[in-house]
Amino acid sequence: MQNLSFSVRRFFSLLLSASASIVVWLVTIFEDTLVSSHLLGETALAAYTHIVPIYSFMLFIGTAIAVGSSVCYTYEIGKLNKERAHEFFGQAVILAIIAGCILLGVNTIGSSLVLGIMNPTADLAPYINQFMKWFPWVSLLIPLSCVLMNMVQADGDTRIVNFHNGILIIGNFLLSWILGGKYGMEGIVLGTFISSLVGLIILSLHFFQKQNSLRFKFHLNFKDVLVAFRFSAVEACEYLYLALLTFLLSQFVTRYFDENTLTTLSVMFEGLEMTVIFGGIWQAAEPLINIYRAEENAVGIRRLMHYVNGTAFFEGLFVTIGTFVCAPLLVLLFHIQTPELQNSTAAAIRIASLGLLALAFVNLYNNYYLHEHPWFAMFISAMRNLAVPVAVITLMGIQFGKTGLWIGCALAPIFTLGLCALIFILKFGRTEFPLFLNEFDQNCYYQFDYPMTPAAIVSLRDQVAKSLTIEGVSPNIRMKAMLLIEEMNMAFIEKNKGKMHYGECSLLAKEDSVSLILKNSGKLLDMTNLEMSVSNLRAYMVTSLMVYQEKRAYVLTTSYNRHVFEFPKA
Amino acid sequence: MEIVKTKENSSLTFALEGRLDTMTAPQLEAEVNNSLEGVTDLAFDFAKLVYVSSAGLRVLLAAQKKMNKQGKMEVRNVCPEIKEVLDVTGFSDILTIV
């Protein structure tokens, strides 16, 4: 842990809240399903099965707005385009409010139409009617909740996001239980509404935090909506692919196998939903990777991706072992009563779980390619969610029967990973594999990670001086850069006494200029601000250096300090 | 940083070599504090000094303050890069640079 770099530490600090955020709404729906089955019985549970797709649709709308907008936001912050970043944030909020209002209207006025589409049996209809009483208000909140959760996460406020997730999960369970016992299905949804409203208020607290860099700027532009949606497209298509996969495999199993096999397949699909947790790895890495992309820093991306891959490996392994060991418990969770079916389903889950490690990597790289090569990302998404599983599972099923189906489930992600790697190499070449960094590799980047201690700072200053000498930077410019490094970092130490913090220093050498980027955690401090109070000689020195440093910028980035300076080489 | 101290009667010269920074300034500060008694002419020779930060300037400022009461102080052989730092911070107006 001691040797971890600044960005790796940031990644691990974001990982827990990102993973929790990605499953929080699924857990909420699961809780409501659980509460309805325990309090109101099997008919209510069956009614909920009709309701879940509507929930999923609302989440799809929210995710479609939130994912792309947060990608654009972090990228623009990385490029130091604060105004543009604020425009994307403002646009996301406006879109979320518009979407929420439309969903409220559709679910209120068009609830009878929704019921007509669902076509429930007479005993389910009262439950669905009760559900629809408060659900429009939940649908009003979902898009905004998704946008704020993604944005606050991207802004690095893990404390608020964790608090929100905790309140949503625990609060929803308690409220749904209490209100569901009193008012039935209506109470369960009311519980969800209240907890999501409280969750939204908690997320809004981020705007009063010092580390908040999100600023609302009124902006709505069709072109920018498309730009943001481009990054959401893969996620949006995933829903489509999964729906098609479910349909095609259900048809196949119904035709060639018995009803029990179909039940096992359904459990498998339910279980598949929980693998969204792998998305948390990317959600934590994405803001940091986007900043490096904007800085065109291949060194930083490689270093961070090394740990992101490690995390995907261990998380994939952990989920595989967990699923393998807990398979019988998972079966019980789905109320499968027949012992024979219990055993065969548990065995099927165990076989299929062997592909989860590969799935973690496919998921990770699918998201990674989203930014630079959306069409390739779309292709991988189609491969992993539809084409390969359908081909492998049906072929294995035809060839080896029931067991072949489950082996097919395990092999599908492994084949997808291999196939996508092969196609990548054939299309883009070996040198680009797997991170698409050829273009950034042309840049001359030096990167240093250091603990914020006087000795480490002095050593960093000397290392930077050496690099600047190699790059042919004139002695007086080199002196300025050295002073900035020592004075600014020492000033940070003085402001953060008693707590160890870490920093990152990057140096990008261009043809006739050099960019110096200093990042660190700890108290937020804009040292480029000439109005900063000068309480000692060091602060005076920093201010004096800033007066003569024209090209300077401070951007609060995912809750850490980022100072950027540009010097001419001579 | 290396400090070479030369004392002749009431004149004292500190010849500095290397970098006068956060890590090395306390060393110079201790040397200066222990040596100023009876000194009327204090000089810092920067001929081999390649870098000075605010920690070093603080020591120079403290020495100048003391010498204002008991004599004079000058800084010699300042390289152009350090001179620029002293100009930028306004120290070239406070110190006597020769």
In this prediction the ipTM stands at 0.95
Chain B interface includes A477 (CB < 8 A): no
Q: Which of residues 86-125 of A touch B (CB under 8 A)?
A: none
Chain A interface includes B53 (CB < 8 A): yes
Binned at pLDDT 50, 70 and 90, residue A244 comes out as confident
* CB crowding A178-209: b at 16 or more within 10 Å, else e: ebbeebbbbbbbbbbbbbbebbbebbeebeeb
A435: helix, coil or strand? coil
User: Which residues, 6 or more positions from A498, have their beta carbon under 8 angstroms from its beta carbon?
Assistant: none
Joined together, the tokens standing for residue A471 give 């790059």
Measured between beta carbons, the chain B residues lying within 8 angstroms of A475 are 80-81
The CA distance from A367 to A370, in Å, is 5
Give the pLDDT confidence score for residue A263 in this predicted structure: 82
Binned at pLDDT 50, 70 and 90, residue A262 comes out as confident
B49-94 confidence digits (pLDDT tens)? 999 999 999 999 999 999 999 999 999 999 999 999 999 999 999 9
A240 has a pLDDT exceeding 80: no
Chain A interface includes B65 (CB < 8 A): no
Measured between beta carbons, the chain B residues lying within 8 angstroms of A487 are 53-54
Chain B interface includes A457 (CB < 8 A): yes
Mean pLDDT of A14-38: 84
- Select the residue of A476, A490, A540 nearest B22 (Cβ to Cβ): A490
Chain A interface includes B87 (CB < 8 A): no
A367-393 confidence digits (pLDDT tens)? 999 877 888 999 999 999 999 999 999
Give the pLDDT confidence score for residue B25 in this predicted structure: 97
A264-274 confidence digits (pLDDT tens)? 887 887 777 77
A152-201 confidence digits (pLDDT tens)? 998 989 899 999 999 999 999 999 999 999 998 899 999 999 999 999 99
Q: Could B81 and A476 be called an inter-chain contact, meaning their C-beta atoms sit closer than 8 Å? A: yes
Query: Which is more confidently placed, A329 or A462?
Result: A462
Q: Could A479 and B57 be called an inter-chain contact, meaning their C-beta atoms sit closer than 8 Å? A: no
Q: Chain B interface, mutation test: which of A464, A469, A476, most B Cβ atoms within 10 Å?
A: A476
Q: Could A476 and B84 be called an inter-chain contact, meaning their C-beta atoms sit closer than 8 Å? A: yes
The residue of chain A nearest to residue B50, with distances taken between CA atoms, is A479
Chain B interface includes A484 (CB < 8 A): no
Judging by DSSP bridges, how do beta strands B72-76 and A444-451 pair with one another? unpaired
Q: Could A479 and B82 be called an inter-chain contact, meaning their C-beta atoms sit closer than 8 Å? A: yes
The residue of chain A nearest to residue B83, with distances taken between CA atoms, is A476
Query: Which is more confidently placed, A107 or B21?
Result: B21
Binned at pLDDT 50, 70 and 90, residue A118 comes out as low
- Select the residue of A455, A490, A541 nearest B89 (Cβ to Cβ): A541
Mean pLDDT (chain A, rounded): 90
Residue B38 CB: number of other CB atoms within 10 A?
A: 11
The residue of chain A nearest to residue B59, with distances taken between CA atoms, is A537
Q: What are the backbone dihedrals phi and psi of residue B76, each rounded to the nearest 5 degrees, phi first? A: -115, 160
Measured between beta carbons, the chain B residues lying within 8 angstroms of A479 are 51, 81-82, 84-85
Q: Could B85 and A483 be called an inter-chain contact, meaning their C-beta atoms sit closer than 8 Å? A: yes
The residue of chain B nearest to residue A545, with distances taken between CA atoms, is B88
A512-534 confidence digits (pLDDT tens)? 899 999 999 888 889 998 888 88
The residue of chain B nearest to residue A461, with distances taken between CA atoms, is B21
A436 has a pLDDT exceeding 60: yes
The CA distance from A320 to A520, in Å, is 36
Distance from CA of B91 to the nearest CA of A (A): 10
Measured between beta carbons, the chain B residues lying within 8 angstroms of A454 are 22-23
What region does B12 belong to: left with phi over 0, alpha with psi -120 to 50, or beta? beta
A64-106 confidence digits (pLDDT tens)? 899 889 989 998 988 889 999 999 999 999 999 999 999 999 8
Q: Could A458 and B23 be called an inter-chain contact, meaning their C-beta atoms sit closer than 8 Å? A: yes
Q: What are the backbone dihedrals phi and psi of residue A519, each rounded to the nearest 5 degrees, phi first? A: -125, 140
Task: State the alpha helices, DSSP H only, in chain B.
Answer: 25-35, 54-70, 80-89, 91-94
Mean pLDDT of A219-243: 84
Q: Could A482 and B22 be called an inter-chain contact, meaning their C-beta atoms sit closer than 8 Å? A: no
Structural contact between residues A162 and A79, judged by C-beta atoms closer than 8 angstroms = no
What region does A518 belong to: left with phi over 0, alpha with psi -120 to 50, or beta? beta
Q: Quote the radius of gyration of chain A (alpha carbons, Å).
A: 26
Distance from CA of A457 to the nearest CA of B (A): 9
- Select the residue of B22, B54, B57 nearest A458 (Cβ to Cβ): B22
Give the pLDDT confidence score for residue A214 in this predicted structure: 93
User: Which residues, 6 or more positions from A208, have their beta carbon under 8 angstroms from its beta carbon?
Assistant: none
Mean pLDDT of A48-77: 84
User: Which residues, 6 or more positions from B38, have their beta carbon under 8 angstroms from its beta carbon?
Assistant: B10
Percentage of chain A exceeding pLDDT 70: 98
Joined together, the tokens standing for residue A263 give 């039940």
Give the pLDDT confidence score for residue A156 in this predicted structure: 86
Distance from CA of A320 to the nearest CA of B (A): 51
Distance from CA of B37 to the nearest CA of A (A): 26
- Select the residue of B21, B80, B81 nearest A458 (Cβ to Cβ): B21
Give the pLDDT confidence score for residue A49 in this predicted structure: 67
Q: Could B54 and A548 be called an inter-chain contact, meaning their C-beta atoms sit closer than 8 Å? A: no
A1 has a pLDDT exceeding 60: no
Chain B interface includes A552 (CB < 8 A): no
Q: Tell me the longest C-alpha to C-alpha distance in chain A.
A: 85
Measured between beta carbons, the chain B residues lying within 8 angstroms of A458 are 21-23
Mean pLDDT of A42-52: 73
Q: Which amino acid is at A421?
A: A
Mean pLDDT of A496-503: 90
Structural contact between residues A156 and A169, judged by C-beta atoms closer than 8 angstroms = no
Percentage of chain A exceeding pLDDT 90: 59
Query: Which is more confidently placed, A141 or A233?
Result: A141
Mean pLDDT of A461-469: 96
A345 has a pLDDT exceeding 80: yes
Q: Could A476 and B51 be called an inter-chain contact, meaning their C-beta atoms sit closer than 8 Å? A: no
Q: Could A454 and B23 be called an inter-chain contact, meaning their C-beta atoms sit closer than 8 Å? A: yes
Q: What are the backbone dihedrals phi and psi of residue A522, each rounded to the nearest 5 degrees, phi first? A: 95, -165
Chain B interface includes A458 (CB < 8 A): yes
Query: Which is more confidently placed, A247 or A311?
Result: A311
Q: Could B53 and A486 be called an inter-chain contact, meaning their C-beta atoms sit closer than 8 Å? A: yes
A6 has a pLDDT exceeding 80: yes
Name the residue with tokens 């623009």: A76
Measured between beta carbons, the chain A residues lying within 8 angstroms of B26 are none
B4-55 confidence digits (pLDDT tens)? 999 999 999 999 999 999 999 999 999 999 999 999 999 999 999 999 999 9
Q: Could A458 and B61 be called an inter-chain contact, meaning their C-beta atoms sit closer than 8 Å? A: no
Q: Chain A interface, mutation test: which of B20, B27, B81, B94, most A Cβ atoms within 10 Å?
A: B81
Chain A interface includes B57 (CB < 8 A): yes
Mean pLDDT of A468-475: 94
The CA distance from A406 to A401, in Å, is 9
Binned at pLDDT 50, 70 and 90, residue A420 comes out as very high
Give the pLDDT confidence score for residue A375 in this predicted structure: 86
The residue of chain B nearest to residue A546, with distances taken between CA atoms, is B88
Give the pLDDT confidence score for residue A123 in this predicted structure: 78
Mean pLDDT of A282-293: 92
